[in-house]
C-alpha cells in the first residue's frame, strides 16, 4: 500500500497503526539478514508509539497523512536516545541528546520510527559497502549494490520493509540509490529541508529528502519535512499540456546504457503525447562542474572530520583516502571553486527559465 | 605539504593520494584561469 492508501485505510478503521508497524517489523526481521538495510531496529519503541498513535486517532486527534505510518531514518539523522552511527566506527556508540529537526518534524507528524538504515560510511561514497556494518544488498538482486550513500533507505523502501525513509544527498546520495533500487528519491532545493541535527558530510552541499515508492508519497513526506509546506499533492492524473520539459542535448545521453536511454526516450514520447512541449536544452559543462564540486566537497568533508584523523584505523580505506585528499586542497583553490560555483549557478538559473 | 600535516599522512598513503589530487588540480587550473577578476564567491542559495 502507498502512504495515502494506508492513511485512508487507517481512518476507515480497517487497519491500525499497530498492525502496520507489526507488518513492517516482521518484514524487516525476515529480510534484513540478507539485505542488511538496517543498522538498528526499534521494535519496542515502535510498538509503543504505534499504540499511542492509534489511541490518538480513536480520540479524534489526527496529525495528518503520516499519522501512524511506519518509516525509517538514514542513520545519519540524529535521533534522541537512539544510537546514530553515520555508518562509522567513530560514532558506533553515539547516542544523541536531541532529535534532528527533520526527525522532530516527522515525529510531530505522527510517523512511527521503526529503525535506522545503513549507509556508506559517513555518507562518503555511493556503494553502501560498509566495512564496519557490512554491505547493503540490492533487493532486486543480492549480488548487486543498492547505490549510496542512502543505500539502506533505498533497499528498505524498494523491498517494502517501510513505506518511506529519509535520505541525504551531497553528490547523489538520494538520487543514486533511488535509481539503483527503483524508488522515488527527492533531493529538494538546498536548505528547503533543515540539515540541523543531521551529521554533516559537506557543509555547503548536504541535502535531506524523502525516499518513497511513489511520487505522491514523496510529496506527502516532503510536506511533513519542511517549514511552510504548500500542501500540494499531485493528482493521480496530472495535466501536463503545455508544460515545457527540457531534454538535454549534451552529456546525459553520452555514456548511457541503451536500455536506460530507450526508457527515457519512451517517457519523453509519452509526455509529448500527453501534450507536454519537449524543449531541447544544453546543460552547463557537467564535467567541469564535477571538478569544481570535488574541489569543494573534499576540503569541506575533511574540515568536518579532521579531528578524528588520529584514529586512522577506524576509517575504511576509501573514506580515509578522500579525507586525506581534502587536506591537500589549498584555501585559495577552495575559494576559487566557490567563485566558479556562483557562475555555474547563474548558468543553471538561465536554463531553468527555458523549462518548467 | 603532506609531510607537515598534523597528524601526518603516512608515506605509503601519500603515494596513493597525491596523484589523484594532482589530476584534480590539473583539471581545475584551466577553469580557475577562466575566472573573471571580479567573480565573487557563492555564499548561499538566497543570493
A291 and A315, same domain (yes or no): yes
A215 and A194, same domain (yes or no): yes
> Which of A291, A297, A314, A347 best probes binding to B when mutated, by most B CB atoms within 10 angstroms?
A291
If chain A, 356 residues long, is cut into consecutive pieces of 10 residues, what is the mean pLDDT of each piece? 96 98 98 98 98 98 98 98 98 98 98 98 98 98 98 98 98 97 97 97 96 97 95 90 96 92 96 97 96 98 96 97 98 98 96 96
Does residue B5 belong to the interface with chain A, where contact is any CB pair within 8 Å?
Answer: yes
Closest residue to B17, CB basis, from A190, A325, A342: A325
Residue A324 included in any domain: yes
* Chain center to CA of A42: 20
Neighbours of A90 (CB within 10 A): 18
Cα(A15)–Cα(A210) distance, integer angstroms: 24
Domain that holds residue A327: 286-354
A145 and A94, same domain (yes or no): yes
A48 and A123, same domain (yes or no): yes
pLDDT of residue A51: 98
Cα(A267)–Cα(A336) distance, integer angstroms: 39
Q: What are phi and psi of A22, to 5 degrees?
A: -60, -40
pLDDT of residue B3: 67
A23 and A85, same domain (yes or no): yes
A17 and A137, same domain (yes or no): yes
Domain locations along chain B: 2-33
pLDDT of residue A284: 96
Neighbours of A263 (CB within 10 A): 11
The position carrying cell 528519491 is A185
Residue A236 included in any domain: no
A293 contact partners, CB below 8 Å, separation of at least 6: A171, A205
pLDDT of residue A236: 85
pLDDT of residue A52: 98
Q: Which of A75, A78, A121 is nearest to A97 (CA)?
A: A78
pLDDT of residue A237: 87
Cα(A328)–Cα(A338) distance, integer angstroms: 17
Q: SS3 of A243, please?
A: coil
Neighbours of B4 (CB within 10 A): 6
Residue A233 included in any domain: no
Query: Is the pTM value of this prediction over 0.90?
Result: yes
Distance from CA of A311 to the nearest CA of B (A): 10
DSSP A191: T
For chain A, the C-alpha Rg in angstroms (whole number) is 21
pLDDT of residue B7: 86
pLDDT of residue A271: 97
Distance from CA of B3 to the nearest CA of A (A): 11
> Which of B42, B44, B46, B47 best probes binding to A when mutated, by most A CB atoms within 10 angstroms?
B42
A81 and A175, same domain (yes or no): yes
A291 and A265, same domain (yes or no): no
Cα(A353)–Cα(A234) distance, integer angstroms: 22
Cα(A235)–Cα(B37) distance, integer angstroms: 49
A174 and A76, same domain (yes or no): yes
A84 and A146, same domain (yes or no): yes
Q: What is the tally of structural domains in chain A?
A: 3
DSSP E strands: which ranges in chain A?
38-41, 70-74, 112-117, 129-130, 134-135, 164-169, 184-185, 207-212, 244-248, 277-281
Could you give the ipTM of this predicted complex?
0.94
Residue A237 included in any domain: no
A252 and A303, same domain (yes or no): no
Q: Using the beta-carbon criterion (under 8 Å), do B42 and A320 form an inter-chain contact?
A: no
If chain B, 47 residues long, is cut into consecutive pieces of 10 residues, what is the mean pLDDT of each piece? 80 95 98 96 81
CA dihedral of A8, A12, A15, A16, whole degrees rounded to 10: 90
Residue A123 included in any domain: yes
Distance from CA of B11 to the nearest CA of A (A): 12
DSSP A320: H
pLDDT of residue A28: 98
| DSSP assignment string, B1-18 | -GGGSSSPPPHHHHHHHH
A45 and A166, same domain (yes or no): yes
Residue A121 included in any domain: yes
Query: Of A281, A305, A327, which marks where a domain is finished?
Result: A281
Residue A291 included in any domain: yes
Does residue A337 belong to the interface with chain B, where contact is any CB pair within 8 Å?
Answer: yes
pLDDT of residue B45: 80
Cα distances from A33 to residues A37, A82, A161, A181, A212, in angstroms, run 9, 21, 13, 18, 22
DSSP helix, strand, coil percent of chain B (3-state; round to 5): 55, 0, 45
Q: Which residues of chain A does B6 touch, with a Cβ-Cβ cutoff of 8 Å?
A: none
Amino acid at each position: 500500500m502507498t502512504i495515502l492508501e494506508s492513511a485512508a485505510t487507517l481512518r476507515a478503521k480497517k487497519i491500525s497503526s499497530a498492525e502496520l508497524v507489526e507488518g513492517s517489523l516482521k518484514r524487516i526481521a525476515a529480510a534484513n539478514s540478507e539485505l542488511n538495510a538496517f543498522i538498528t531496529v526499534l521494535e519496542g519503541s515502535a510498538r509503543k508509539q504505534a499504540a499511542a498513535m492509534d489511541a490518538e486517532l480513536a480520540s479524534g486527534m489526527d496529525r495528518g497523512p503520516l499519522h501512524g505510518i511506519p518509516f525509517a531514518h538514514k542513520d545519519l539523522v540524529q535521533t534522541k536516545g537512539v544510537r546514530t552511527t553515520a555508518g562509522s566506527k567513530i560514532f558506533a556508540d553515539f547516542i544523541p541528546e536531541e532529535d534532528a529537526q527533520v526527525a522532530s518534524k516527522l515525529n510531530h507528524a505522527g510517523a512511527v520510527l521503526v529503525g535506522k538504515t545503513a549507509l556508506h560510511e559517513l555518507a562518503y561514497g555511493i556503494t553502501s559497502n560498509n566495512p564496519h556494518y557490512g554491505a547493503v544488498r540490492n533487493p532486486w538482486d543480492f549480488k548487486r549494490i543498492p547505490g549510496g550513500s542512502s543505500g539502506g533507505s533505498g533497499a528498505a523502501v524498494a523491498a517494502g520493509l517501510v513505506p518511506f525513509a529519509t535520505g541525504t544527498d551531497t553528490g547523489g546520495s538520494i538520487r543514486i540509490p533511488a535509481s539503483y533500487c527503483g524508488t522515488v528519491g527527492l533531493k529538494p532545493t538546498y536548505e528547503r529541508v533543515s540539515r540541523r541535527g543531521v551529521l554533516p558530510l559537506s557543509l555547503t552541499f548536504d541535502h535531506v529528502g524523502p525516499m518513497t515508492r511513489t511520487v505522491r508519497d514523496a510529496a506527502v513526506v516532503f510536506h511533513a519535512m519542511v517549514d511552510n509546506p504548500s500542501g500540494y499533492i499531485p493528482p493521480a492524473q496530472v495535466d501536463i499540456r503545455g508544460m515545457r520539459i527540457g531534454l538535454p542535448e549534451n552529456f546525459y545521453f553520452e555514456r548511457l546504457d541503451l536500455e536506460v536511454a530507450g526508457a527515457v526516450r519512451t517517457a519523453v514520447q509519452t509526455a509529448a503525447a500527453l501534450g507536454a512541449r519537449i524543449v531541447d536544452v544544453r546543460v552547463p559543462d557537467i564535467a567541469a562542474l564535477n571538478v569544481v564540486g570535488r574541489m569543494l566537497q573534499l576540503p569541506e568533508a575533511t574540515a568536518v572530520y579532521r579531528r578524528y584523523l588520529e584514529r586512522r584505523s577506524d576509517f575504511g580505506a576509501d573514506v580515509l583516502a578522500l579525507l586525506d585528499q581534502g587536506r591537500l586542497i589549498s584555501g585559495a583553490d577552495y575559494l576559487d571553486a566557490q567563485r566558479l560555483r556562483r557562475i555555474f549557478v547563474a548558468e543553471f538559473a538561465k536554463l531553468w527559465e527555458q523549462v518548467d | 605539504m603532506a609531510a607537515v600535516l598534523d597528524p601526518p599522512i603516512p608515506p605509503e598513503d601519500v603515494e596513493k593520494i597525491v596523484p589523484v589530487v594532482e589530476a584534480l588540480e590539473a583539471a581545475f587550473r584551466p577553469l580557475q584561469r577562466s575566472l573573471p577578476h571580479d567573480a565573487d564567491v557563492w555564499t548561499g542559495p538566497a543570493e
